[in-house]
Structure 1
Amino acid sequence: MNNPLFSVCYKTKKHWLRNLIIVLGLGLFPPLGQAAEYNFVVQPILPPEQTKEAFQPLTDYLSQQTGHDIKLITAINFLSYWETMKKNTRYDLILDAAHLTDYRAKRMAYKILAKRADAVSYTLVTGEGADILDPEELIGKSIASIGSPSLGMLRVEEMFPNPLRQPVIVEVNNSVDSIKKVIEGKAIGAMVPTPLVGQYPELVTITVTEQVPHTAISASSRVPQDVQNAIRKALLDADKTPEGQAMLEAINFPSFEAATPEQYAGYASLLEGIWGY
């Protein structure tokens, strides 16, 4: 059809669609070089306020180094954390334990950027005067722990696989509450991250679990590759600069080191049997 009016309408519609696509694209993806905001969440081992205090220096450092707004958010407990994580809409960056790091890499295409140097374990503790030397002595007695799917609770379930010979679980929101339950005599034992044990001289160690790769920072596909690269570089170079060293001292990390999916492969199997897995 060689109709001038049709040609004009067609071109006008084409230009309108092109402009609409550009506007929508700018709304979804910030232009290259423009600062964007990314949510950063830390596994809820500590109470929310302590998490903010402990890790704000990390997000401040990453914001400064990358030119983007890395915003620290918290979860009140592992159940809400787990449910939000599965929706895969809110958490852009996550500092988390081995089993959930592996889970997201396999199920949600998260990229592992770097890990805290070293490995980590969990410790089953009791209070002074409890006179408990073996985990089996806690069968039928109370153990405080963060709920599933925290690594601490999964280690408790590993330790007591027989459903007829188990402790009574006192579920709490964070590891500090677990320790308080023991100190206050509201639980006989607690399963807590080993690094916390040395901060409480009232605790007595019963046993220590197998070590796993330490917590890692992973990024969702919503974080562009260039931003992922900038975050990775800032983490791996942190121990080489005054700003990075100050951040590491503030969050009590020795350093960050390179991490691969292979290092965390297999730990997601600890989640088998967990509701929603």
Structure 2
Amino acid sequence: MPNAPLVRRGMVGLVLLVVFSSTALAQGLIFTAPPRESPAAGAKLYGPLAEALTRLLGKKVTYQHPENWLRYQRNMRNDTYDIIFDGPHFASWRMTHLGHRAVAKLPGTLEFYLLRAKDNPDIKAPEDLIGKKICGISPPNLSTLSVLARFDNPVRQPIILGIRGGMGKVYKRFMSGSCDALVLRTTFYKKKLKPDDRAGLEIIYHTPPLPNQVITVSKRLSPAEQRRLAQALTTPGPVQKASLSIVKRFGGKARSFVKATQAEYEGHNALLEGVIFGW
């Protein structure tokens, strides 16, 4: 058979192509976000974006729920994740230590109020809270870390009473008399509390504004893939459409992600390092 060597070479090439494609598929990317919801809810929220990114990048992108905060932080420090959506303090740490790049963020800033009850004569300023309890979402949530950054001396700080379940639960716990002060996001204070509720509170500290939540990517994505991802998230198309449920939940009235820069996230890792055990 005169063409047998040619046929064999063609078969070998086909086998190599299949092997190469399977290897590329196996070496997929992991997309994650903090465990703020159940695994099922996380898959519903982030799964569509992972599928859209798979089609965009030509390699499998899988959403992985981190199970809990300890595992999330451990896996992040071990560089397990390739694409992550979370707060500026975590993103800054990854940029500094793992070489992550910021590709797209939610518009606006993250700011928080430290509040006291107006009828509490013992609390007039943040310094009056040293050694006293503040109700806030459990660290490493950005709200409580932003307030703790106000206190330079680590042995002269308030005691954080960590609350799970969101800002509404923080307010309810404060109103039950569990704490001397509380931390709320400024938008929650202005939009979710009733006028009568706000009338009973006084702002004693307003944290400096921080850039909003952001999507960062690891060095395992090439510069070209990073640019393609940033463009797809911030311009109309299938990827932006798949991200709208995330924007709606975390971005208020925002319509889409916007492009992010490295510079605006620099230095915010200081909120974590030396403050939270393990960082």
User: When the two structures are superposed, what TM-score results if normalisation uses the length of structure 2?
Assistant: 0.70
Q: Structure 2 regions of 5+ residues with no counterpart?
A: 1-11
Q: Does 1:30 align with 2:25?
A: yes
Cα distance between partner residues in 2 of 1:171 and 1:70: 34
Secondary structure of the residue that 2:149 maps to in structure 1?
A: helix
TM-score by length of structure 1 reads 0.70
**Alignment match, 1:67:** 55
Correspondence 1:199 to 2:192: yes
Q: How does 1:1-277 map to 2 (within 5 A)?
A: 26-30=21-25, 38-44=29-35, 47-49=36-38, 52=41, 56-57=44-45, 59-61=47-49, 63-64=51-52, 67=55, 71-75=62-66, 78-89=69-80, 91-126=81-116, 130=120, 132-163=123-154, 165-173=156-164, 175-176=166-167, 177-197=169-189, 198-201=191-194, 202=197, 204=201, 206=203, 207-223=205-221, 227-238=225-236, 243=241, 247=245, 250-251=248-249, 253=251, 254=254, 255-274=256-275, 275-277=277-279
Structure 1 residue 182: deviation in Å? 1.8
User: Structure 1 pair 127/114, CA: closer, same or farther in 2 (3 Å)?
Assistant: same
SS of equivalent residue, structure 1 residue 260: coil
Letter in 1 for 2:187: P
Provide the C-alpha distance between the structure 1 equivalents of 2:180 and 2:40, rounded to a whole number of angstroms.
Answer: 26
Counterparts of 2:172 and 2:40, CA distance in 1: 17
Secondary structure of the residue that 2:177 maps to in structure 1?
Answer: coil
Q: Structure 2: which amino acid aligns with 1:106?
A: T
5+ residue gaps, structure 1, are 1-15
Q: Deviations over 1:8-65 (max 9, x none)?
A: xxxxxxxx9x99998875454229xxxx964433335xx4249947x94565256347
**Which whole-Å CA distance do the structure 1 matches of 2:131 and 2:40 have between them?**
33
Closer, same or farther in 2 for the Cα pair 1:210/1:25, shift >3 Å? Answer: same
- Does the residue aligned with 1:67 lie in a helix, a strand or coil? helix
Secondary structure at the residue paired with 1:166?
Answer: coil
Moved more, 150-159 or 221-230: 221-230
Q: Which amino acid aligns with 1:30?
A: L
Q: Contact (CA 8 Å) 1:79, 1:147: kept in 2 or not? A: no
Q: Among all aligned residue pairs of Structure 1 and Structure 2, give the percentage whose two residues are the same amino acid.
A: 24
Name whichever of 71-80 and 134-143 sits farther off.
Answer: 71-80
Q: CA deviation at 1:211?
A: 0.4
Q: Secondary structure at the match of 1:159?
A: coil
Letter in 1 for 2:268: Y
